[in-house]
């Protein structure tokens, strides 16, 4: 095992007064809203991150002082390089092709597709054809030599990391009725036990005015299927929405003048509007937390529908009941959430997240046309407006992200099987965007060429070309939230001294050890120069997250010592001020010259 660099006499970490204090920000980050039990609340900051200055220990001759490696001295340590470092980022577009009969179309190749970004054709560099949950053909990616292919096991090979599935079963208990929820969850259990494959990972989340992880990601779908039983014991909040809607409809029916109920209708719409915004905030938070996970990400969203235009049916009822009353429908447009839903789907597309929306209510029946309200003018039309409003949001969420909405059906098993077909049969088109630093959102269009026209193509509607810093931050947060780890650089994390402080916290030493032989260097006149960036985040047992910090670390090695140094580690030390209890630290490491990244996380009990 190569030995790590050791500091020589006189070299130490910076004193406390020279450190940078970064407080854990509770309003941000998925972990602050994910609670292990309903009702638990995070109210205090979890971690202080202390990034020491000049605490890197670089390569030095025996008995010599290590080179000064102050990461704040220069943000651009490659400014004197006579070369350009190109970052190659591949964007994967998952495409589902069906015939007129709705059946999956297999056997297509890369040359059968046309891929356009912002209406401009782009080259498809990577291509996967997935059938039955395994790779059947690839183009532009590493494959077995031809001789090995002839003797290989006919079983389709397992999917690579960038094609593996992360499925989130998201039960929106706040927008569900208990009966419809429990009926739907029975079918979801059957689906999980019968349609997922080895390598697929699934997680259970519920929303009850705040997000709760009911079971973390697991490769055992039976664990999630069993955990669904616990949700069947909870109250479904949608029954309260029904009661409020009946009350306001009765008030409209009994009123003789519009002014008598106009304020009450606005109050009802405002309340529903607020509830929907909380719901969308939670969905956005869920989607954002998945950004750093590799592969395909699907959200099976179970609810009785969401109001894209809260209170629209109430204002429609007023317009029907008070004939000639002007401005009522116009007033209802104040509560339009269309742009909020569009922002959600854009974020999902940026993070390769596909929505599959399951309307647990099933086939709808008109609720207002009973005997007591038979004389109400336009009652069936009002209910139709209400149902369309609830379903349009589900169709939009799913359609924009490449999934589909399962509405107006009681045959949940059939539509869930269709979703399973998406997981097992699809094409993945990979391309390298022209720019990876602008952060812009781009529209995607996939077409089939003339010889295969007449088929239906479904895919997400866009992507965002995320800068490297954003991608690294996403990956570091994924390591914190979900234990994601990918470590091609062979980075090691080592906790050292844990010094108790007067305030009851601990000052903990963390050493990041990077094998020099795994890094790329650029030759200078008398030295080899490398550039590494560290991304550091921390989370406590209650879900408090310290914001991810970026630390540029230049590495200069004398030319005469470079070959010997390649068998050793480069070590960077930092300090973290932590409370007692379980803490998790994640570090993303980016070799800027070699364009290689890795993520590791470690826990410590204090």
Q: Output the domain CATH number for residue 79.
A: 2.60.40.10
Number of domains in the chain: 3
Higher pLDDT, 597 or 234: 597
* 452 — pLDDT class (breaks 50, 70, 90): confident
The answer to whether 201 touches 219, Cβ cutoff 8 Å, is yes
The answer to whether position 186 is within a domain reads: yes
Sign of the C-alpha dihedral computed for residues 360, 202, 127 and 85 taken in this order: positive
- Interatomic CA distance for residues 111 and 365, integer angstroms: 48
Q: Specify the 3-state DSSP secondary structure of 17.
A: helix
Could you tell me where the DSSP H helices lie in 63-111?
Answer: none
**366 and 278 co-located in one domain:** yes
Q: How far are the Cα atoms of 108, 409, 451 from residue 351, in angstroms, in the given order?
A: 26, 30, 32
Same domain, 145 and 237: no
Both 503 and 537 in a single domain? yes
Split at pLDDT 50, 70, 90, the class of 434 is confident
* Residue 2 resides in a domain: no
- Residue 280 falls inside a structural domain: yes
| pLDDT on residue 365 | 73
Helix (H, G, I), strand (E, B) or coil at 275: helix
Location of structure tokens 């589900």? 394
pLDDT at 237: 84
User: Lowest-confidence range among 71-85, 270-284, 380-394, 396-410?
Assistant: 71-85
- 432 in the same domain as 415: no
> What pLDDT shows up at residue 45?
34
User: pLDDT (tens digit, 9 = 90+) per residue, 468-497?
Assistant: 999 999 999 999 999 999 999 999 999 999
Q: What is the pLDDT of residues 285-321, one digit of tens each?
A: 999 999 999 999 999 999 999 999 999 999 999 988 8
The answer to whether 97 and 89 are in contact (CB under 8 A) is no
Q: Is 93 within a domain?
A: no
Contacts of 475 (CB under 8 A, 6+ apart): 292, 484, 486, 535, 588, 597, 599
Is residue 94, in this structure, part of any structural domain at all?
Answer: no
- pLDDT computed for residue 460 by the predictor: 97
pLDDT in tens, 161-184: 999 999 999 999 999 999 999 999
Grade residue 30 by pLDDT with cuts at 50, 70 and 90: very low
Short-list 474, 477, 458, CA closest to 466: 474
Neighbouring-strand partners of residue 555: 530
Q: Which domain holds residue 140?
A: 102-160+427-464
* Dist. CA 464–CA 349, nearest whole Å: 8
**Residues 490, 472 share a domain:** yes
Contact (CB, 8 A) for 512 and 535: no
Q: Where are the alpha helices (DSSP H) in 173-237?
A: 178-195, 221-231
Same domain, 525 and 574: yes
Total H helices, total E strands in the chain: 13, 26
The pLDDT of 434-454, averaged and rounded, is 84
* Alpha-carbon distance values, 494 to 60, 449, 509, 517 (Å): 21, 54, 8, 19
pLDDT of residue 541: 83
Comparing 496 with 155, which gets the higher pLDDT?
Answer: 496
Do 353 and 420 sit in the same domain of this protein?
A: yes
pLDDT of 63 > 80? The answer is no
Is 180 in the same domain as 285?
yes
Report pLDDT for 208: 92
CATH number, position 401: 3.40.50.410
**pLDDT value of position 43:** 26
Give residue 104's region: left, alpha or beta (phi > 0; psi -120 to 50).
beta
In a domain, 312, yes or no: yes
User: Does 152 score more than 70 pLDDT?
Assistant: no
Residue 82 has pLDDT above 90, yes or no: no
Q: Is residue 8 part of a domain?
A: no
pLDDT: which is higher, 313 or 330 = 313
Confidence of residue 61 (pLDDT cuts 50, 70, 90): very low
Assess whether 448 and 472 both reside in one domain: no
Q: What's the pLDDT tens digit per position in 179-234?
A: 999 999 999 999 999 999 888 999 999 999 899 999 999 999 999 999 999 998 88
Mean pLDDT of 367-394: 72
- Based on the fold, state whether residues 354 and 373 are members of the same structural domain: yes
In a domain, 10, yes or no: no
Residue 591 has pLDDT above 70, yes or no: yes
3-state secondary structure of 121: strand
Closest CA relative to residue 285, chosen from 348, 329, 337 = 348
d(CA 98, CA 174): 35
Least confident range from 70-74, 305-309, 480-484, 510-514: namely 70-74
Same domain for 446 and 535, yes or no, is no
User: What are 21's strand-pairing partners?
Assistant: 50
* Domain final position from 406, 441, 464: 464
Q: Where is the domain boundary, 464, 492, 517?
A: 464
* Distance between CA atoms of residues 252 and 258, nearest Å: 8
Query: 501, 444, 512, 540: which is closest to 23 by C-alpha?
Result: 540
Query: Is residue 431 domain-shared with residue 539, that is, in the same domain?
Result: no
Q: What does pLDDT average to over the chain?
A: 83
Domain boundary among 394, 424, 454: 424
In the prediction, which pLDDT does 84 show?
Answer: 54
- Helical segments of 232-367, H only: 238-254, 259-289, 312-321, 328-332, 338-350
């Amino acid at each position: 095992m190569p030995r790590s660099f050791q500091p020589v006499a006189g070299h130490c970490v910076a004193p406390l007064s020279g450190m940078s204090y970064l407080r854990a920000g509770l309003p941000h980050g998925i972990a602050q809203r994910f609670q292990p039990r309903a009702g638990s609340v995070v109210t205090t900051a979890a971690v202080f991150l202390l990034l020491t200055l000049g605490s890197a220990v670089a390569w030095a001759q025996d008995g010599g002082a290590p080179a000064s490696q102050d990461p704040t001295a220069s943000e651009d340590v490659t400014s004197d390089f006579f070369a350009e470092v190109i970052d190659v980022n591949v964007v994967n577009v998952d495409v589902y092709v069906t015939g007129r009969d709705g059946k999956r179309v297999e056997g297509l190749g890369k040359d059968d597709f046309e891929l356009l970004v912002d209406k401009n054709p782009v080259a498809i560099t990577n291509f996967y054809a997935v059938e039955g949950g395994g790779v059947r053909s690839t183009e532009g990616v590493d494959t077995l030599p031809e001789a090995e292919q002839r003797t290989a096991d006919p079983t389709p090979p397992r999917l690579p990391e960038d094609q593996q599935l992360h499925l989130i079963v998201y039960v929106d208990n706040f927008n569900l009725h208990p009966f419809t929820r429990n009926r739907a969850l029975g079918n979801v259990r059957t689906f999980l036990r019968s349609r997922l494959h080895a390598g697929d990972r699934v997680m259970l989340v519920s929303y009850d005015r705040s997000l709760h992880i009911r079971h973390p990601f697991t490769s055992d779908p039976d664990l999630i299927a069993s955990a669904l039983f616990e949700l069947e014991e909870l109250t479904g909040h949608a029954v309260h929405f029904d009661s409020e809607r009946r009350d306001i409809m009765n008030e409209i029916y009994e009123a003789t003048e519009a002014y008598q109920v106009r304020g009450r209708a606005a109050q009802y719409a405002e309340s529903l509007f607020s509830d929907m915004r909380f719901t969308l905030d939670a969905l956005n938070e869920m989607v954002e937390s998945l950004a750093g996970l590799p592969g395909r990400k699907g959200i099976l969203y179970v609810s009785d529908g969401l109001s894209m235009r809260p209170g629209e049916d109430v204002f429609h009822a007023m317009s029907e009941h008070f004939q000639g009353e002007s401005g009522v429908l116009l007033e209802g447009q104040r509560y339009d959430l269309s742009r909020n839903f569009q922002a959600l789907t854009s974020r999902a597309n940026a993070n390769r997240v596909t929505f599959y929306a399951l309307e647990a209510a099933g086939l709808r029946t008109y609720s207002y046309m009973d005997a007591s309200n038979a004389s109400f003018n336009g009652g069936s039309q009002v209910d139709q407006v209400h149902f369309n409003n609830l379903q349009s949001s589900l169709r939009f969420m799913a359609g924009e992200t490449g999934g589909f909405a399962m509405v107006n059906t009681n045959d949940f098993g059939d539509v869930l099987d269709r979703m399973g077909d998406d997981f097992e049969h699809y094409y993945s088109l990979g391309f390298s965007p022209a720019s990876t630093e602008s952060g812009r959102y781009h529209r995607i269009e996939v077409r089939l060429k003339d010889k295969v026209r007449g088929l239906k193509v479904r895919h997400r509607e866009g992507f965002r070309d995320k800068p490297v810093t954003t991608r690294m931050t996403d990956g570091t947060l994924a390591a914190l939230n979900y234990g994601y780890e990918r470590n091609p650089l062979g980075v090691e994390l080592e906790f050292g001294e844990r010094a108790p402080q007067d305030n009851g916290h601990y000052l903990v030493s963390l050493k990041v050890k990077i094998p020099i032989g795994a890094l790329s260097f650029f030759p200078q006149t008398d030295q080899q120069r490398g550039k590494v960036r560290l991304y550091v985040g921390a989370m406590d047992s209650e879900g408090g997250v310290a914001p991810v910090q970026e630390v540029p670390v230049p590495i200069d090695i004398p030319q005469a010592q470079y070959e010997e140094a390649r068998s050793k580690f480069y070590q960077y030390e930092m300090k973290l001020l932590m409370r007692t209890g379980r803490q998790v630290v994640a570090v993303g490491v980016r070799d800027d010259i070699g364009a290689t990244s890795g993520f590791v996380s470690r826990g410590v009990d204090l």
